[in-house]
Amino acid sequence: MSFAVRRRRLAFIGLSLTLLTAAVATAKDDPRARAQGHIDRGDQLFEGRKFEEAIAEYTAALALQSHHDLIWNIARAHEELGRLKDAIALFERYFGMDPPEADRALASARLATLRTRLQTEARGRLVVNTSEGAIIAVGGVVLGKGPRLEKELAPGRYRIAVTFASGAIREETLRVPPGGEAVLDLQPSPSEQPPTPPPALTYGDWSGRYVVLAITPLAASLDRAVIVLDASGIGRLERPSERALESWRVPHCKGEKTLRWTLVHDVALSGGDDASLVLSNGRFESCSCDPFCRVLERVETPILRAPRFDGAVSEELILVRERPDLPAEPRRPLNEAELVGTWRPVVWPGEPGNETEMALDAGGTGTIVTHRHGELLSWQRRGCGSATSWKQTALWDVRWSSRGEGITVVFSGGRELDCSCPKACSVPPALADLALTTPAIERTLAGRGSLFSMPTPAELPSMPPAEPPSNAPAEQSPVEKSPAGL
């Protein structure tokens, strides 16, 4: 409730200033006249909701002449600005200035209201300390990851759920006090610790000679280039090339009918599985006709390691370790008969499941089946019996067609074949289309940042079951429903 400013004249002024003697009313150095001027301006500013300026005028008046009504007005201005602590302190000071009994009752009620608001509105801080990478949910809403979360919240009780890398979930209920701090330490027990990971990949894993296979036209100038890396991830790209010159160019190249050049880049590869490939200082080490040699000075692209192929995949190109059986051409001829069969994604940013298989049929049709699994949060378990995890099998229809040196794959008709807990499952009707080419690696399809492999018949049964292993990190449910209360 908003209280109006108390527009009382100071008691010591008494009658209207116009009734005082002219000498007093016009004396510039009279503190009472100056105080009244500050009060009038403060009242106008307060009514115009210019509370900072009103505080300055009332404070100036208070310095000239003390009065409890001025303290009331300053307190009210602070309250309007949301400075509840300052307003409370000023109302407490108000009682020490001997106001009338009726005004004391009003001030007491106002003070009680402010103290209640301060307790209710003062936000507290929640701090959760846990293990690195653990998922932290508050009231069923994921707010961050470990090792530490700091969040300002309204006072109240909150349910905190922490999902560790092993898939185990720990829950606690904590009260966040108004204006205070609640700290929760949730570390995994030995049984909840994830298995010891393999040694981190080092630059030594990349050392050697690699061949660049272009996926898109943007990388065509690098196709078949050789990159040599040392153990520190630093190296050099080299690509000798030649091509016939058009007749109109021959006179500009001293009669030479063939353009020969060697493209060179400095190479830096940073990161492990998820790396960045930087080609810098692009130049020609040799060029038979300088006017027609062009080079990009710098190229940078994220790149994902694909250990199965002893190489890596980016949006524009594939790196594969140099070996004698690599054909001279950058791509295999497209043989539609070779496309028929079962394919698995090695790298696919849009992969919709924990395990995925794409079957292409001879008639340009096919299917893609995914198996997903993960742990249920406590609020998701209601309606799923006593289950603590969910499993889902989904299917999409596939249409594929030849496209130059590759194929286009379109997914539609997404539907659920099975779900252990319907409350936690959903299936998008379609997936992003794929444009895949046939690189020089046998039994391989590649697209922008994607790499698919056709397993041998002996490899097909090795696909892991849908049941999650006990030490696998839990995947978040595909349906996120936030309960009320946060």
| 72 occurs within a structural domain | yes
Task: State the Cα–Cα distance between residues 148 and 107, nearest whole angstrom.
Answer: 44
Residue 51 is predicted with a pLDDT of 92
Q: What is the CATH number of the domain that holds 58?
A: 1.25.40.10
- The answer to the question of residue 105 being in a domain is yes
Give the CATH number of the domain where residue 144 resides: 2.60.40.2070
Tens-digit pLDDT profile for residues 252-290: 888 888 888 888 989 988 766 567 888 888 888 888 888
The pLDDT of residue 53: 92
Q: Say if residue 5's pLDDT is above 60.
A: no
Asked if 59 and 67 count as a contact pair (C-beta separation under 8 A), the reply is no
User: What is the domain extent for residue 316?
Assistant: 203-321
Same domain, 405 and 345: yes
- In this prediction, residue 460 carries a pLDDT of 53
Does the pLDDT value for residue 421 go beyond 90?
no
The pLDDT, as a whole number, for residue 197 is 55
When divided into structural domains, the chain yields a total of 4
Write the single-letter amino acid at 198. Answer: P
Q: What is the pLDDT of residues 191-235, one digit of tens each?
A: 767 666 554 444 456 788 888 888 777 777 888 888 898 877 789
Residues 277 and 175 in one domain: no
| Stretch 354-376: mean pLDDT | 86
According to the model, what pLDDT value does residue 57 have?
92
> Residue 358 pLDDT > 80, yes or no?
yes
Which region among 24-33, 294-303, 321-330, 375-384 has the lowest average model confidence (pLDDT)? Answer: 24-33
More confident residue, 437 or 45: 45
Query: CB within 8 A of 41, min separation 6: which ones?
Result: 57
Percent of all residues in the chain with a pLDDT value above 70, rounded to a whole number:
80
29 and 41 together in one domain: yes
Does residue 483 fall inside a structural domain? no
More confident residue, 47 or 462: 47
Same domain, 77 and 92: yes
Domain's final residue, options 192, 211, 231: 192
| CATH number of the domain bearing residue 378 | 2.40.128
From 161-165, 292-296, 454-458, the region with the lowest mean pLDDT: 454-458
- Tokens, residue 36: 């009244």
CB within 8 Å of 277: residues ≥ 6 apart: 267, 268, 269, 300, 301, 302, 303, 312, 314, 319
Radius of gyration, alpha carbons of the chain: 37
Do residues 106 and 128 both lie within one domain? no
426 C-beta neighbours (distance < 10 Å), count: 14
Average pLDDT over every residue of 165-186: 86
Q: Is 370 or 178 the better-scoring residue by pLDDT? A: 370
Least confident of 86-90, 147-151, 283-287, 448-452: 448-452
**Which of 132, 160, 192 is where one domain is finished?**
192
471 found inside a domain: no
User: Which residue did the predictor score with more confidence, 171 or 121?
Assistant: 171
Q: What was the pLDDT predicted at 17? A: 33
Are the beta carbons of 306 and 269 closer than 8 angstroms? no
Which pLDDT band, with edges at 50, 70 and 90, does 129 fall under? very high
Cβ atoms of 162 and 186 closer than 8 Å: yes
Residue 38 inside a domain? The answer is yes
- Are 55 and 92 in the same domain? yes
Residues 389 and 439 occupy one common structural domain: yes
Do 99 and 158 fall into the same domain? no
Does one domain contain both 370 and 385? yes
Q: Which of 91, 121, 151 is the last residue of a domain?
A: 121
Residue 467 inside a domain? The answer is no
Is the per-residue pLDDT at 147 higher than 80? yes
The answer to whether 294 and 269 have CB atoms below 8 angstroms apart is no
pLDDT at residue 459, rounded to an integer: 56
Whether 440 shows a pLDDT value over 80: the answer reads no
What average pLDDT does the segment 377-404 reach? 80
The pLDDT score that the predictor gives to residue 55 is: 92
Contacting residues for 76 by C-beta, under 8 A, at least 6 apart: 3, 5, 6, 46, 87
What local confidence, expressed as pLDDT, does residue 353 receive? 66
What is the average pLDDT across 54-83? 89
Q: Which position has the higher pLDDT, 473 or 370?
A: 370
Q: Which of 414, 191, 216 has its CA nearest to residue 316? A: 216
Please tell me the distance from the alpha carbon of residue 360 to that of residue 241, in angstroms, as a whole number: 37
Q: Judge whether 12 lies within some domain.
A: no
Same domain, 305 and 408: no
Beta strand 148-153 pairing with 274-287 = unpaired
Q: How confident is the model at residue 128 (pLDDT cuts 50, 70, 90)?
A: very high
pLDDT tens digits, one per residue of 462-472: 444 434 433 44
Residues 91 and 23 reside in one and the same domain: yes
Across residues 1-22, what is the average pLDDT?
Answer: 35
What letter represents residue 82's amino acid? G
Q: Looking at the structure, tell me whether residues 458 and 372 fall in a common domain.
A: yes
3-class DSSP string for the chain: CCCCCCCCCCCCCCCCHHHCCHHHHHCCCCHHHHHHHHHHHHHHHHHCCCHHHHHHHHHHHHHHCCCHHHHHHHHHHHHHCCCHHHHHHHHHHHHCCCCCHHHHHHHHHHHHHHHHHHHHHCCEEEEEEECCCCEEEECCEEEEECCEEEEEECCEEEEEEEECCCCCEEEEEEEECCCCEEEEEECCCHHHCCCCCCCCCCHHHHCEEEEEEECCHHHHHHCCCEEEECCCCEEEEEEEEEEECCCCCHHHHCCCCEEEEEEEEEEEEEECCEEEEEEEEEEEEEECCHHHCCCCCCEEEEEEEEHHHCEEEECCEEEEECCCCCCCCCECCCCHHHHCEEEEEEECCCCCCCEEEEEECCCCEEEEEEEEEEECCHHHHCCCCCCCEEEEEEEEEEEEEEECCEEEEEEEEEEEEEECCHHHCCCCCCCCCEEEECECCCCEEEECCEEEECCCCCCHHHCCCCCCCCCCCCCCCCCCCCCCCC
pLDDT at 74: 93
In a domain, 477, yes or no: no
